Amino acid sequence: MSVVIADVMLHIKEALDTSLLEQIKQGLLNLEGVDRASYQSNIPHLMIVEYDSEVINAQAVLSFVREQGYNASLVGL
């Protein structure tokens, strides 16, 4: 079985502190298929999520963040 790694960039509209960003990150990492989630403290509105596209997709990642009550969107690269 091969793993197909994809990534997506999320833009979170709210101004979040490190604690809230870490909560989102940990929640994403708990999703089946998500391999990595990261953000940079100097651009906290953006988060990169790497995932196995055979298990989960970008819309499911986005939906998770929105279900936490945040106004987020996918960023095209």
Tell me the C-alpha distance between 33 and 57, whole Å. Answer: 9
Looking at residue 77, what is its pLDDT?
59
How many structural domains comprise the chain?
1
At 57, the amino acid letter reads: N
C-alpha pair distances (Å), 15 with each of 18, 20, 48, 56, 71: 10, 10, 17, 27, 10
Q: Which two tokens stand for residue 63?
A: 């939906």
Which residue do the tokens 């196995």 mark? Answer: 52
| CATH number, residue 30 | 3.30.70.100
Q: Residue 31's domain spans which residues?
A: 5-75
Over residues 7-50, the pLDDT tens digits come to 999 999 999 999 999 999 999 999 999 999 999 989 999 999 99
Quote the crossing angle between the two packed helices 58-67 and 18-29, to the nearest 10°.
130
Could you tell me the pTM of the whole model?
Answer: 0.91
